[in-house]
């Protein structure tokens, strides 16, 4: 079982690598950091030669608390952390309707290629059907490891006051991380200690 999961992840990495080989890499100056950094349509960020560095270099991203690749950009001695997928989307993905969130189409949070990103609204980003179709996250062992899902962890449904399901989360922690809500408040709703939280009804999914 474990071997098959590793094989699945390895196959996904090979597919992404193959896409990198086939696609032409295009670089653009990062807005606000012109002459300092560039971002590519393949999800890479590089710096220009400056100060004590004779050559520019590809920045090594770090994974933030929500599982997204981020880089640290420095200008005038001020350091700012930027999520790679937003840099790519801002420079390579059209946004004619001025939507404010970015979705990874295949559900893989570190696949920051422009072809894998789309602008969306918060509602679209949280849509349950898209959530299920994108990545089958509940069955992804890496996703479970990131959220430390216990075998007895319960899925949580986020509903409006009429009882219509808006989203179903793998656990309360996931909902809190994505929405910046308080886990204890959601748990109180699920156990019947309070009726609503943030205007939503929360309940465990059997």
157-176 pLDDT tens trace: 888 888 888 777 878 887 88
The SS3 assignment for 24 reads: coil
The helix (H) or strand (E) run that includes residue 91 is helix 84-92
pTM of this structure: 0.54
What single DSSP character describes residue 138? G
- Per-residue model confidence as pLDDT tens for the chain (206 residues): 444 444 554 554 454 454 444 568 999 999 999 999 999 999 999 998 876 555 678 999 998 888 889 999 999 999 999 999 999 999 999 999 899 999 887 777 888 999 889 898 877 776 534 444 444 444 444 444 444 455 667 888 888 888 888 777 878 887 887 777 888 999 999 999 999 998 889 999 87
Is CATH 3.40.50.11930 the right assignment for the domain spanning 22-135? no
Q: Which helix (H) or strand (E) holds 143?
A: helix 141-146
Give the alpha-carbon dihedral of 174, 178, 184, 187, to 10 degrees: -50
Q: For domain 137-205, is the CATH number 1.10.10.10? A: yes
Q: What is the pLDDT of residues 85-118, one digit of tens each?
A: 999 999 999 999 899 999 887 777 888 999 889 8
Domain boundaries along the sequence of the chain: 22-135, 137-205
């Amino acid at each position: 079982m474990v071997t098959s999961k590793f094989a699945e992840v390895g196959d996904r990495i090979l597919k992404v690598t193959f896409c990198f080989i086939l696609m032409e890499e295009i670089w653009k100056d990062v807005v606000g950091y012109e002459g300092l950094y560039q971002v590519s349509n393949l999800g890479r960020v590089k710096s220009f030669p400056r100060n004590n560095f004779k050559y520019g270099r590809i920045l090594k991203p770090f994974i933030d608390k929500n599982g997204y690749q981020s880089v640290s950009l420095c200008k005038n001695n001020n350091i700012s952390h930027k999520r790679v997928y937003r840099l790519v989307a801002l420079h390579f993905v059209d946004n004619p309707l001025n939507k404010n969130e970015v979705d990874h189409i295949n559900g893989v949070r570190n696949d920051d290629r422009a072809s894998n990103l789309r602008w969306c609204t918060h509602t679209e980003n949280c849509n349950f059907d898209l959530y299920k179709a994108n990545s089958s996250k509940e069955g992804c062992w890496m996703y479970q490891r990131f959220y430390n899902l216990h075998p007895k962890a319960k899925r949580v449904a986020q509903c409006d006051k009429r009882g219509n399901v808006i989203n179903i989360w793998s656990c309360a922690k996931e909902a809190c991380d994505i929405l910046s809500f308080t886990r204890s408040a959601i748990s109180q709703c699920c156990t019947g200690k309070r009726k609503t939280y943030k205007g939503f009804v929360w309940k465990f999914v059997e």
